């Protein structure tokens, strides 16, 4: 007879998920390249061991501000391998014109630092200018002062125009008054002349 406990289905232990996990973000990938290159260079470009890959994963997590790594050391190693495969494929297609985000970064990592004899010369130093060394704040302050000065100049120009228009209006008013006064006097003179002619002459009786 099968016991009651034996008849129950035995639940298998949960398996640890070994899938690919979350996709790699661009910033996460960039930090992985930096962390790997640092460790790889410290080993004189030698192969990393398992615990060293875990340290790389921990370094990436620390730079992301995570309490624990979101990717394992194995995932980091696989990601670097895929980046190198993509880099080689881009090289075959003409790497100089590649639009892949990480091409230049992986290219510098794979080629390593150039020897001094083949390094390009540094660009010539620009000629000193009068405003050399000014900070962004100083430039912004100069622009602000220029705008304030320009605003004051425009305001003064507007005030001058208004004042000139006011003076012109006063002059026109005064001129009109003078014309009216002259016409009034002329009318009075003409009226007096006509009134003088209309006065009858006295007859002289004998």
- Three-state DSSP class for residue 206: coil
pTM of the model: 0.47
Of 76, 84, 41, 44, which Cα lies nearest the Cα of 57?
76
pLDDT of 125 strictly over 60 = no
Q: What H or E segment, with its residue span, contains residue 89? A: helix 73-92
Q: Which of 119-123, 151-155, 167-171, 182-186 has the lowest mean pLDDT?
A: 119-123
Q: Which of 77-81, 99-103, 115-119 has the lowest mean pLDDT?
A: 115-119
Q: Measuring CA to CA, how many Å separate 75 from each of 24, 27, 101, 124? A: 10, 16, 20, 45
163-189 tens-digit pLDDT: 787 887 888 888 888 989 989 889 988
How many Å separate Cα 201 from the centre of its chain? 102
- Widest Cα–Cα separation across the chain: 186
- Three-state DSSP class for residue 14: coil
CA 76, 77, 79, 83 dihedral sign is positive
So what's the pLDDT on residue 132? Answer: 52
So what's the pLDDT on residue 12? Answer: 43
So what's the pLDDT on residue 17? Answer: 42
Confidence of residue 13 (pLDDT cuts 50, 70, 90): very low
Domain boundaries, the chain: 26-115
What average pLDDT does the structure give for the chain?
A: 80
Of 105, 51, 63, which Cα lies nearest the Cα of 80?
105
How far apart CA 206 and CA 204 sit, in angstroms, is 7
Q: What is the DSSP letter of 66?
A: -
DSSP string, 100-140: -TTHHHHHHHHH-SPPGGGSPPPPPPPPP-TTTT--HHHHH
């Amino acid at each position: 007879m099968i016991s009651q406990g034996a008849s129950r289905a035995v639940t298998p232990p949960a398996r640890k998920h070994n899938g690919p996990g979350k996709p790699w973000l661009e910033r996460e990938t960039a930090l992985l390249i930096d962390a790997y290159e640092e460790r790889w260079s410290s080993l004189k470009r030698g192969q990393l061991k398992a615990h060293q890959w875990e340290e790389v994963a921990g370094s990436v997590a620390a730079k992301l501000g995570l309490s624990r790594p979101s990717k394992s050391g194995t995932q980091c190693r696989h990601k670097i391998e895929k980046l190198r495969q993509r880099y080689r494929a881009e090289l075959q297609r003409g790497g100089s014109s590649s639009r892949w985000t990480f091409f230049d970064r992986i290219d510098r990592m794979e080629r390593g630092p150039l020897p001094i004899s083949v390094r390009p010369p540094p660009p010539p130093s620009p000629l000193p200018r009068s405003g050399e060394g000014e900070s962004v704040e100083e430039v912004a302050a100069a622009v602000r002062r220029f705008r304030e000065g320009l605003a004051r100049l425009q305001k003064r120009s507007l005030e001058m125009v208004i004042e000139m228009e006011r003076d012109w209006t006063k002059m026109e008013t005064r001129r009109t008054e003078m014309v009216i006064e002259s016409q009034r006097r002329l009318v009075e003179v003409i009226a007096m002349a006509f009134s003088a002619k209309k006065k009858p002459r006295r007859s002289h009786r004998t």
